[in-house]
Amino acid sequence: MTDLLYSEIEEELRSSVRALLADRSPHQAVLARCETAEPYDRKLWRTLARDLGAASLAVPEETGGAGASVREVAVVLEELGRAAAPTPYLGSSVLAGTALLALSGDEGADELLAALASGERTATLAVPLSTAPGTPRGAGFPAAVRADSAGTLTGTVTSVADVGTADVLLVPAEGRDGPGLYAVEISAAALTVAPRTSLDLTRPLFDIALTGTAARRLAGPDRAPAALERAVLTGAGLLASEQLGLAEWCLESTVAYLRERRQFGRTLGSFQALKHRLADLWLDVVGARAAARYAAGTLADGDPDAPVAVAVAASHCGDLAVRAAEECVQLHGGIGMTWEHPAHLYLKRAKADQIALGTPDRHRTALAGLVDLPEPAPTA
């Protein structure tokens, strides 16, 4: 039975990450950095990944990691969501790291995984951020890139997250003998990286174009599809924890504001209608916490119920985070609409996360199939 409570070690990890982000990534710094060409704080990333060991949590000790699990990774993501922190954790430690973990035993994959765990290098999985678990071959996953007999890659992949700080791209490609997973150095010739206009300023997206780009094959048809599916499934399940942390910050900051803000001779928080709105939101946040924790637990344990748990968490937490951010903006009144207030960072992150690694509708449809129920009608 998956434990939904946080262990003492997980709470200590949370405290360390929260303290680091409060000190090194306050909202003012995030807002200022979003207006520059380098939204990620590389010094913060080094501290988080290397000094705090967040990049090595799910990596086995024999590969240079901490030997923990994705439960601890989920706690880090909750805190990154609470702070709307601009780090490549999702792309490098979750998506790329999980794909490499699935290839454990391959010398090239183990070597790269150890480098990611140490914080020396950063990688990302070169798939569109909208890619959902269970995406069939031929729908852009992994057939958007072709591999020739010489091992070079040609093709384009759009809307890839965390390319800006990546040293290595893990590229799914279709070769003569079937799908494979390839490592491409970001400095490789014949590789073009172009930024897109991203809604979420704290997680910019990029298009990559490969034109006969040199690559190193990490896995072939026997292991690559399963590694990719595991990476995307884990990413979708753990993204729910980021959405949970985001929603918690929106709720707590809104409650704090309404307790202080006075109008008509009384605090805004004393109005019954606002109390009811926030109480309803609190209940949904509690439900989201249970769903996200269960998804992380099943992924950590290798539970066969993981696809169901991920579909539940992703469909619930994606919509909840958007609602919490919308409530935050609206109930802060005029100040919530200003650039200086961080509410818009959370709304943009929530909206972008809502379509990342599968929309809530996509996950509800998948859930219907997994539990043998009729598909739900799409939401408007």
pLDDT in tens, 75-115: 999 999 999 999 999 999 999 999 999 999 888 999 999 99
Confidence of residue 24 (pLDDT cuts 50, 70, 90): very high
Q: Is the pLDDT of residue 37 over 90?
A: no
pLDDT in tens, 316-363: 999 999 999 999 999 999 999 899 999 999 999 999 999 999 999 999
User: Of 6-15, 140-149, 214-223, 328-337, which gets the smallest average pLDDT?
Assistant: 140-149
Q: How far apart are the C-alpha atoms of 137 and 351, rounded to whole Å?
A: 27
Identify which has the larger pLDDT, 35 or 258. 258
Judge whether 27 and 342 are in contact, CB under 8 Å: yes
Domains along the sequence of the chain with CATH = 8-122 (1.10.540.10), 145-221 (2.40.110.10), 225-371 (1.20.140.10)
Q: Which of 341, 339, 344 is nearest to 325 (CA)?
A: 344
Task: Give residue 49's Cα distance to chain centre.
Answer: 15
What the block records as the tokens of 169 is 């791209």
Cα 317 to Cα 77, 91, 295, 350, distances in angstroms: 13, 19, 11, 10
**213-229 per-residue burial string, b: 16 or more CB within 10 A, e: under 16:** bbbebbbeeebbbebbb
Q: Is the pLDDT of residue 139 over 70?
A: no
Residues whose CB falls within 8 Å of the CB of residue 173, separated by 6 or more in sequence, listed in order: 142, 145, 146, 147, 153, 155, 179, 180, 181, 182, 215
The pLDDT score that the predictor gives to residue 141 is 54
pLDDT in tens, 278-324: 999 999 999 999 999 999 999 999 999 999 999 999 999 999 999 99
pLDDT in tens, 223-260: 999 999 999 999 999 999 999 999 999 999 999 999 99
The pLDDT score that the predictor gives to residue 231 is 97
The pLDDT score that the predictor gives to residue 306 is 96
Identify which has the larger pLDDT, 342 or 36. 342
Confidence of residue 372 (pLDDT cuts 50, 70, 90): confident
Please provide the average confidence, as pLDDT, over all residues in the chain.
Answer: 94
The pLDDT score that the predictor gives to residue 136 is 59
The pLDDT score that the predictor gives to residue 2 is 76
